Amino acid sequence: DAKTTQPPSMDCAEGRAANLPCNHSTISGNEYVYWYRQIHSQGPQYIIHGLKNNETNEMASLIITEDRKSSTLILPHATLRDTAVYYCIVRVAWESGSARQLTFGSGTQLTVLP
Partner 1 sequence: GAGVSQSPSNKVTEKGKDVELRCDPISGHTALYWYRQSLGQGLEFLIYFQGNSAPDKSGLPSDRFSAERTGGSVSTLTIQRTQQEDSAVYLCASSLGQIYGNQPQHFGDGTRLSIL
User: Cβ 12 to partner 1, closest distance in Å?
Assistant: 23
111 C-beta neighbours (distance < 10 Å), count = 14
Question: Sign (positive/negative) of CA torsion 114, 19, 21, 86?
Answer: positive
110 C-beta neighbours (distance < 10 Å), count = 21
Among 44, 55, 109, 111, indicate the residue that binds partner 1 (CB under 8 A). Answer: 44
User: Cβ 38 to partner 1, closest distance in Å?
Assistant: 9
Contact indicator for 39, 90 with CB cutoff of 8 Å = no
Site for partner 1 in 6-35 (CB under 8 A): 32, 34
Closest CA to 86 of 8, 30, 15: 8
Does residue number 53 form part of the binding site for partner 1 (CB under 8 A)? no
Whole-angstrom Cα distance, residue 6 to residue 73?
11
Among 45, 54, 56, 79, indicate the residue that binds partner 1 (CB under 8 A). Answer: 45
User: Cβ 94 to partner 1, closest distance in Å?
Assistant: 5
67 C-beta neighbours (distance < 10 Å), count = 9
Does residue number 54 form part of the binding site for partner 1 (CB under 8 A)? no
| Nearer to partner 1 among residue 58 and residue 94 (C-beta) | 94
The residues binding partner 1 (CB under 8 A) are 32, 34, 41-46, 49, 51, 91, 93-96, 100-105
